[in-house]
Amino acid sequence: ERELAQFIGGNRQVICVNTGTAALQLAVQACGIGHGDEVLVPTLTFVASFQAVSATGATPVACDVLRDSGCLDPEDAARRITARTKAIMPVHYASGAGALKKIYELASKPGLRVIEDAAHAFGGVHNGARVGATGDVICFSFDGIKNITSGEGGAVVTADATVANRIKDARLLGVGKDTEKRFSGQRSWEFDVTAQGWRYHMSNVFAALGRAQLRRLEKEFGPRRAQLARQYVKLLANVPQLRHLNLDYGPIVPHIFPVFLSNGKRDAVREALCAENIESGIHYKPNHLLSFYGGGKLKLPVAEELYAQMLTLPLHFELTDAEQNRVVEVVRRCLVG
């Protein structure tokens, strides 16, 4: 936690937990949000964002996204604010921040909390500062495929001491001030519990993995991920019926590289890649289409359009230039001939 705080900067408290989903859930709970409350969430995100909200008893309210970034559309979010709205959860889709400034401006008027789902964005720089160094409450994921991994893990970053202390207690079953004792090798035997807690702390073994990964981020992982993304941009230039997100790779450390294929070409390209034993993905099925979150009763046209077009190409630290060229060759063959 100390090393993460030093890396992120901004005089922040960092609280490590066992998953990125736990980080989001505890952040929502620590902001005093629960039954009867609503949290605005972009529908284009992994279901973990929605599950973290509903796990507290609150209701995630699906919002549409911006076509050029895949991130939360502030205007659509503004239309969905009610007296029950307590927070906005912007998601750093594909490591980009989207219209984050407008989201904070939107939240400031009714006094809403902003809980950033920055699971894709660890290590990146936004407006001259590390992601997490500014803002209200920021949540990261360190699972096996993120920019750094602790095996499994996550973290909440905030300058709000009250929120930080609530999360410290809640991750250890709600036992008051148990963090200080456990992390100094002691135990709490006579204690009180005043709120719902969870078994969400990060283990020392996973923390050790995370520390080793953190030391490699700036010199190895970050530069290579950015290089691969820039190479994709160059290699896929002028390919018809294909577009990618316009992100500043370098300051942004990319977690995934989605492309958007028009005229119904997505599935054909995906099948061609699969035939060459090349994995691809779809990030993500919009949550408002899932049965538990409405089953498509709500119409969010931009997210639904992007969902029909999206395909995530391979991007990871050990991807070689030759492997990347092979991916591009298959894509170009499908779209150019």
Distance CA 62, CA 274 (A): 32
For residue 226, what are the CA distances in angstroms to 7, 41, 70, 130, 334? 19, 27, 19, 16, 25
- At 119, list the tokens: 């699971």
Q: What's phi and psi for 262, nearest 5 deg?
A: -90, 175
Pairing of strands 59-63, 38-42: parallel
Using an 8 Å Cβ cutoff, are 178 and 32 in contact?
Answer: no
- At 130, list the tokens: 């590390």
Q: What's phi and psi for 210, nearest 5 deg?
A: -60, -40
- At 206, list the tokens: 């996973």
Distance CA 193, CA 197 (A): 8
Rg of the Cα atoms in the chain: 20
Q: List the Cα angle 227/230/236 in 5-degree steps.
A: 135
Catalytic residue among 146, 181, 234, 285: 146
Pairing of strands 257-261, 129-130: unpaired
Whether 101 sits among the annotated catalytic residues: the reply is no
User: Of 89, 79, 83, which Cα lies nearest the Cα of 53?
Assistant: 89
Cβ neighbours of 217 (radius 10 Å): 17
Using an 8 Å Cβ cutoff, are 271 and 321 in contact?
Answer: no
Exposed e or buried b for every residue in 298-318, given b needs 16+ CB within 10 A? bebebbbebbebbbbbbbeee
Residues labelled catalytic? 146
